[in-house]
Structure 1
Amino acid sequence: MSDKLFSYPELHASYLPNPLTTGMDVTLTCDTTLSPNRSATELQFAFYRDGQNVQEFGSSNKYQIQSIQPVDFGYFTCEVKTVTNSVRKKSRIIYVRKQDLFSFPRIKVSPQEVTEDVEMTLTCYTSYSYVTGQLFAFYRDGEMVQAFSSSNKFQVQSVKLKDSRNYTCEITTSNYNVKKRSRVLHIQIQELFSFPQIELSPQVMIEREKMTLTCNITARDSANLLFAFYRDGEMVQGFSPSNKYQVQAVKLEDSGNYTCEVRTSNYNVKKKSRVLHIQILGPTSQTYWQTILITCLSVLLLIVVILAFVFRHKLVQAVRKQYRYQPKRGVSRNAKEKRHQQSHISDSLDLKFITVQLEKD
């Protein structure tokens, strides 16, 4: 029956459910319930931290810690017993320690893939928080871009390539006593379109010929892009959807430094090409260059003919040399002598014919 004299004690901390911070006053209470028919029984209470007694048995069921410090943290239990020590019961353990007011913040970007000229939103959030009235700030490459405020968002209306940076956010309490900063989030802004390249057609321009300049880009969406062309810094064709500039019959004064520029319809993104120098050649210049070209081709053709002749000559010599030192097989010695006699007779007849002719003369 004695084991039902009172219930097993339960230990409660005064700061719960709020987080415990250094400097707070903490009260631990050891609660138990006496049996109705033994309500007059006198009980005594003791408290332990990490198994060591911190308050001896007494009539008070409370243990107080003023201005709690890290050395006061630990695993606490309480014990209840009768004055006669006939019944003793211990509570379960509770862990008294400093708790974070809020978790370390995280930063995220929306949309996940950020392209030039779109609105970018950064959000700073925590997984848990025991306080209200938090303040948020945002940093880019370590420099503050939005001071502490109640807003946990940072927005850029029309992002540019230069906004590709490392971003962090920071949270603090309203009294600035506790601050925590997020990890770095690197954001790479994607190009809406590449830097333009200006191209000339044809590559050599002669006076009175048609000239075409093309402004080439690689774009995600070219529907809302406009193109313009410049000569020596002066606009020669205003912004329009066409990426070509044409001159039907160029003149010498059309020579110059040309560039093209591409922009969005809202003017938020602009990009200009490198300079392309164009020199218009006159008719004299055309004849001159044609003469040089024909001369070069003639010289090249002559070299080819000479080389072919030399090669043929050497080939013929090689064949003759080989034939001379390698007589045909199967030819008898008598046949060789017969050919020699025939050659000698032919030479004699030729000599007689020449003699007769001289006598007639």
Structure 2
Amino acid sequence: MLLWLLLLILAPGGGQSGVSPKAFLLLKPPWSTHFQKDRVTLTCRDFHFPAQGDISWYYNGMSLNKESEEIRIEKTGYYTCKTRRSSLSEPVYVEFSTDWLILQAPYPVFEGDKEVALRCLGRDEASIIEKTFYKNELKISSTSPFTLNPVPRDNGKYHCTAKKKSWISSKETSKPLTIQLQELFSPPVLTVSPSQPTEGSAVTLKCETWLSPQRSDIQLQFCFFREDKAVGSGWSSDPELKFPIMWSENSGSYWCQAETVTHRVRKRSLRSQIRVQRVPVSDVNLEIYPPEGQLIEGQNLLLICSVAKGTGTVTFSWHKEGTVRSLGTKIQRSLSAELWIHTVKEHDAGRYYCAADNIHGPIISKLITVTLRIPVSHPVFTFNLAGAQAVMGDVVELHCEAQRGSPPILYWFYHKNVTLGNSSAPFGGGMSFNLTLTAEHSGNYSCGADNGLGVRRSEVVTLNITGPSSNTYKASLITVGVPTGLLSVLGLAAATAVLVGCFRTQRSSGGPFATGTPSYSPSEFQEPSWSRTSNVDPPNPKHSEPPALKEPQPVYSNVNLGDSNLDYCQIWNIPHAKENSANSPRRHWEDKEPTIIYSELKKAYPDGSTGQDSNRDIDEDATENYENVPCTSSAVDH
């Protein structure tokens, strides 16, 4: 018997590959034990009825050289068959007995069947008066046929006895019989697809089994387990379980169970170790938004770290070159992650990179440079004066500078909101604009700065221009030919804020003015309002510098030059206030009248004459052509 089993295993098709459907055998008549010379046939079938071609028969593991679907047998032994589309059938043991009494069991009997009937049969049934059934030498019934309910799975040994009618009491006993149970369905086999899953991929588990076509009405249900815990939705009629995504932590020992819905037959598969492979991260890349790293101060910076490959939980981190601590870390199951830097400042400019790691070690991206453009701040507008005050004819430097802002910066200069000009600072800093002052240049000045991110204006600065007016220039031209003595007086007067008035009139020998009367005479002089002080001392000013004095405007009149040969010039000399005048007592202008200087100037003609024949005899006038007149009250009246 052991040799037969070994041969059966080694026979072609004896090793079951997966759960290929098995061929199965049908006995006719359907008993596994017969009397010798009984006519018995075997039929080989598979899932397709009838079986088609290439049928192989085996007797005790040896080929019978028969290919028909049905064969007649006469020998005791084990019979199997297979077809081209099936694996080897379960073996059936058929016995041909020479005994007088046999015990018959039907074939096939499947595990889980509700009942099975045993038949005790003698060669002469008419002579038998009593039959008794035994299991493992114990009497179990005296009824024939005897029905077992349910079908036992203990491989017990059954036999029967029979009493014959005879004047001599006799008893026959059958050989022991073991009920040949056929598999209702094969033990399930758990299959995994794909066989070596990677993280992030879908995996399908299948609990494969084979249900005998002779019991095709039986319904099966399935359940899947990881270690000792059910996964999925529990028991189901579907033999497949699909995982949309598998991760490395889902690795483990898996198995499945199959059972009939009546729970009479349950079988489990072997355990299968599923190892979910993790794909290391690769091709780590850092992207930034706005693109190319061109940001304006105050905007938000988006850093996107991504990997081309990599599965499972990935740890993303962002870094700035030169810093030890990371800018941020995110752990997630994805191929990319984002990090926002809100309201970027000037110190956020630099080179950035990111790293990704899924346990195999961090992979670092390339460096990305982030540049920051800073809008210009409100510029500061200043004057650069040659002296303490702006005087007409001076060249003043107008300077505009924004303390912050990315270069290049374009500056505009404005006078009364009219553009004077512009200048560019390609490397930042300030710019200057030179302006030659005229009387029209008094007023408000400002500047603007722009580096393409918006124009900013400075505060308005007022420029007051002092100095001689246009008539003063005329007076200056009149005194161009005056000798050094008079020029020194005029220079001193100009240095001390002088107001010059020149009057011309005709003089006869020792007489009064002949023609022309000036509309502004020395006797008509009045103090300017800025030179007057009240009798009560005013409070000390808040600032150390005194307020700027307004220049008095002299009154001029045309002089009839008909026959005159004498010019008069009057000069008021007004002393300057000292720097500490705000802290010293003031003097009333009434205490000291302004000094008035007169000068007589003899008019010389190109031909050497004085212009009047009646005055040609006055040699002294021709030789001494000017005279300084002291400033006294009598002189003023004169």
TM range (shorter): 0.3 to 0.5
Structure having the higher strand fraction is: 2
Structure number with greater Rg is 2
Give the TM-score normalised by structure 1.
0.43
Structure with more helix by fraction: 1
